Structure 1
Amino acid sequence: MSILLRVEGAMVATLAIGGYSLFGSSWWLFVVLFFVPDISMLAYLKGPKIGAICYNAAHLYVLPLMIWAAGWWSGSKLTVSIGLIWIFHIAIDRALGYGLKFFSAFQDTHLGRIGKNA
């Protein structure tokens, strides 16, 4: 099952980067914003449960899809771009096997265990 979810992530990433490219947004913006969702990992300093909650909130498709849709409907190129960058980030994470986190530890994800002991 995790292989299918990883392939799905790769396909979503392809669509997001293709959409971003067609939209003609700045690649500097892409580079600057790509890792922003990973700032949520700092919440792990407060423990695995808080860390997982914050990480998962930043790595669900819901918020970036809402941002993308708001940009689309309002005609804001910047808002559409931010949504697509965020969607791409999540999709690449999923394609690489970095899934949503369980409360037990950062390494325990819905796509399986990650890290040296995987």
Structure 2
Amino acid sequence: MNQWTNARLCDVANLILGAILFFSPWIFAFAAGPQTQNALGSGILIVVLSIAALAAFAVWEEWVNLVVGLWVLVSPWVLGFQATTAMTVHVVIGILVAVLAALELWMMYQNPPTQSAA
């Protein structure tokens, strides 16, 4: 159980958030269009990045997760689905994903992994 660090818990939380975003068009009955397509694509990307980070941590995965979280946050205004339930879901999940990715990056830079000589 030593391997369940805070960073891994952030990855698991992002995995769950990505799955919620993926299923949100059905859960919250989004209208067909860019909000549904964005939720599906971004949700899959967040899930894949989280699984990759859980399998083998790499710094670039967290940076990409941060960018995707920021994209999900601003996408309602870029794609034009403001004042909808889809906007609320995207903004909340985008903030959470971006904050978790930033927190994980901050933790990594505060306590860089040590490499042992084999």
Task: Select the structure with the greater relative contact order (CA < 8 A; seq sep ≥ 6).
Answer: 1
- TM-score normalized with structure 1 length: 0.37
- TM-score normalized with structure 2 length: 0.37
Greater helix fraction, Structure 1 or Structure 2: 2
